[in-house]
Chains A and B, each alone.
Chain A
């Protein structure tokens, strides 16, 4: 039973990585937020299953916290921002999407190789998933690099946090509760502040393209 559940956690890790690829190749902002919600839900399930397998009740708590924050609250906030800013058009990426996917696969190979010796040392239940978590974090980085608009960058930032959270769960059975609460609050506040920023950027430049921020005012 425990073996099957461990395999289930591995499967959920694979789903997380698949969703990371889906997000990187997604052009529409609304679908991007939907995928982010789905990633959050997968993370909740994975955390709860790891909590059940290892018998660590505090993991249930952090699963619940993740559910409230990343499945309910933050997607709702992002949807509101998108509605208020009235962004409906497709997002253009800085590099074309097939190239990004190719870079993505190189990242996956890199992350897997990096994590292999580490996971061989550790003896926790789902040690093999460390590589997947690392790949998720790097993919989110890639997404932040390749997107020019502000909202996808914020989604990339949040997806990176998802990856880190999964790494913590799979490698060390979750962070201490204080740290976890702190990060959760930080993410929430971060999204709120970034939302305000987006409105300000739009007001200044009439667009959400953050390349405008690279110029100084007097130019």
Chain B
């Protein structure tokens, strides 16, 4: 493990943790503007986190240890996910710890714990939220795996750093398979991050909420950690999307100085992505929960067709 690698890994984690609420604030701001509302400040998520960390955490009498541990576990999972997705450099000492498949497993681990914690108290809303989250999760995971496999087929490895290295630093070529994978990935990430066609992040209306129902019983620092983890998850998904489909500007192990250029390009790409996400959320209406399986099945099929097109169109070797 080189010093440069260690430094770039550290920098990447710090930047992910620091920038994730900013990304959420940026998306909320654009959403408000596009919907003709006056927007909250860009720093609003930080203020909310600050407020929540200073509040007392009220926990139900019958809550078990699991309920207390879940926020830390979820936050840890999301931080690790952000650490292994190459955003600034591909020289990451933590990256061999988990490839693309383990990354999906990491998201699943967080999901299992947050769902168990939601059911732990025994309120109706928590259980309902957990069931819906599991419904979405089990449909979204295979689609996400297929998207990652499409990219792995092209680069010949399931390690995310290798994928970014191959896609970003070789001769420019158009891959039809990635077009399918891109559409599928957009659909999956909308579903996984509780975004509009599937779930509305701004609602507390009892019949429609999914993610908010899960964390309804939390307060104080636990809620702050969960909100932060949700921002980190969005950040991690955005970074996976950028790594797979727009990998240009990420520094390689041989050229650590390129990281000076990688940070502004990452911020620029995230800003653009956030704007597009806000636009996508504005033009779509939330769909019925029974339409969600159809939505996610479509994304799974698109990802599978992406794999097939790659096999059909790639020159025989």
Contacts and interface: CB of A to CB of B under 8 A. Distances in A.
A102 B175 CA distance: 24
Contact of A11 (B174, B297, B312): B174
A101 B297 contact: yes
Contact of B176 (A10, A21, A25, A101): A10
Interface string B286-317: 00000001100110011011001101110010
Contacts of A131: 312
A105 B312 contact: no
Contact of A109 (B172, B175, B177, B308): B308
B7 interface: no
Interface in B250-293: 293
A104 B305 CA distance: 10
A112 interface: yes
Nearest to B173: A7
Contacts of B183: 18
Interface in B167-200: 172-177, 179-180, 183
B301 A14 contact: no
Given A10-B174, A14-B176, A98 B293 contact: yes
Contacts of B172: 4
A14 B302 contact: no
A21 B309 CA distance: 14
Contact of B313 (A10, A15, A102, A120): A10
Interface string A76-107: 00000000000000000000011001101100
A17 B309 contact: yes
Interface centre among B173, B309, B312 (most CB of A within 10 A): B312
A107 B179 CA distance: 20
A3 B175 CA distance: 12
A13 B313 CA distance: 10
B143 to A, nearest CB: 13
Given A4-B173, A15-B179, A108 B305 contact: yes
A15 B302 CA distance: 11
A185 B183 CA distance: 36
Contact of B305 (A11, A21, A115, A116): A21
30 contacts: A3-B173, A4-B174, A7-B176, A10-B174, A10-B176, A10-B313, A11-B175, A11-B176, A13-B176, A14-B179, A14-B180, A15-B179, A17-B305, A18-B302, A18-B305, A21-B301, A21-B302, A25-B294, A25-B298, A98-B293, A98-B297, A102-B301, A104-B301, A105-B305, A112-B308, A115-B312, A116-B312, A128-B312, A128-B313, A129-B313
Interface of B: 172-177, 179-180, 183, 293-294, 297-298, 301-302, 304-305, 308-309, 311-313, 316
Q: Please give me the 3 A-B residue pairs with the lowest Cβ-Cβ distance, nearest first.
A: A14-B176, A7-B174, A128-B313
